[in-house]
Amino acid sequence: MPLRKRWIIPVLFLVWALLPEWPQIPVQDASARDWNPHTFWFEPWGRSGVHKGIDIFAKRGAPVRSSSYGVVLFRGEIAQGGKVVVALGPKWRIHYYAHLQTVDAYPGQPLLAGSLLGTVGDTGNAQGKPAHLHYSVVSLLPLPWRADESTQGWKKMFYLDPNQLLQTR
C-alpha cells in the first residue's frame, strides 16, 4: 500500500472514536420514567447473571429508533434477546436493541439518530412479560477505571450504563 494511503485507516479509526454521540432515548415518546434506573448491572438476573442494560417499557408496536448515528452490524434472532438489532455507533460503541416485535433494519444500513429499527415487543426470554426494549451499550475500547472487585467487575470496562448516556434527554 502506498505511503499516502496508509494514513486513511488510522485517521478513520481516530475520527470515529472522537465523534460526539448525542444519544437519544431509543423508544419513540418514551422518557426516563419508562425504565428503572437501578436495573443496570442488577444481580442476580436470570440466566445472564447480571442485567447489563435497561428495559424501556412501552406499548407493543411502539417504534424503536436508533439512539445515535452509526451502522447496523447485525439483525436476527437469538435465544435470550429474541429479535435483535446490533449497531456500531460513535466512540466505537455497540448499541444492542432486543425483544423487538418487528425489525426494519438490515446489516450495513447507515443510521442517523432516530432511524427506525423496528418495534417494541416481547420476543426471546421476554415472552409473556410486558412489552419492552432491552437496550445495552458496549464500548469496544476498554475503560479500565470502571472495573471493580466484584466477580463480574472486569465486564464493567466494556458495558456502559445507558442511564448515564440518556440522562440529558
pLDDT of residue 14: 65
Least confident of 3-7, 92-96, 163-167: 3-7
pLDDT of residue 164: 86
Q: What is the pLDDT of residues 75-89, one digit of tens each?
A: 999 999 999 999 999
Q: Which domains does the chain have, with CATH numbers?
A: 20-166 (2.70.70.10)
Instruction: Quickly state the pLDDT bin for 51 (edges 50, 70, 90).
Output: confident
> What's the burial of 44, exposed, middle or buried (CB within 10 Å: 0-12/13-18/19+)?
exposed
**CA–CA distance, 134 with 55 (Å, rounded to integer):** 4
pLDDT of residue 169: 46
Q: What is the pLDDT of residues 116-163, one digit of tens each?
A: 999 999 999 999 999 999 999 998 877 655 555 554 555 667 888 898
The whole-model pTM stands at 0.84
